[in-house]
Structure 1
């Protein structure tokens, strides 16, 4: 049984944009093992919470992380379903596109 995901091109672009920043990749790596609060992420990454908040907002807008509030702290975790959607999007290229060798560029005639 194959699960089908409907992901818009905007969601795909947003996901890959969020993944294009090394600090956001580091945040996601930390969240792979457990849910963490902003203070724990800030301490682990050695960056100010204000800078971290900007990156967490980008990840949240891309639907790559989820947040929940407990008392005065906000806890973040991975939204695995969005990673599955991005993975499925990429797998379509591998599955249905034949990999061909690159065609040599033709020299353009000079005037």
Structure 2
């Protein structure tokens, strides 16, 4: 029950859902997510930690950067696997999500320049 509730609580916040929709397009660093959402870096990091604790995202270190991606089936838990599968089919025609993804396409990650 606790794990189920952790996943549901992680998905119950608008900016965390937006982050997941952005990560559907591939791996991202905090600076890219921050640039799109316009939130402070600590806020983005807190959201990502909640998503990671729920099994919805994974992170990896690349030099001084931490890159985040969606968990793939089996990396998270049965609830996160199911919700990610469902979320991929939801909000795909939502104007707000569309605008975020357009903005994301125009972001150049500082770590890509190095």
Question: Scaled by the length of structure 1, what TM-score is found?
Answer: 0.66
Larger radius of gyration, structure 1 or 2? 1
| 1:66-106 CA-partner distances (Å, limit 9, x unpaired) | 00010111000001326782228xxxxxxxxxxxxxxxxxx
| Other-structure match for 1:54 | 46
Q: Which has the higher contact order (CA 8 A, sep 6+)?
A: 2
- What residue ranges of structure 2 are gaps of 5+ in the alignment? 84-114
Tell me the number of residue pairs that the alignment of Structure 1 and Structure 2 aligns: 80
- What residue ranges of structure 1 are gaps of 5+ in the alignment? 1-8, 89-111
**In structure 2, C-alpha distance between the alignment counterparts of 1:49 and 1:72, rounded to whole Å:** 15
Question: Scaled by the length of structure 2, what TM-score is found?
Answer: 0.64
- State the Cα RMSD in Å: 1.9
**In structure 2, C-alpha distance between the alignment counterparts of 1:59 and 1:37, rounded to whole Å:** 14
Is 1:85–2:78 an aligned residue pair?
Answer: yes
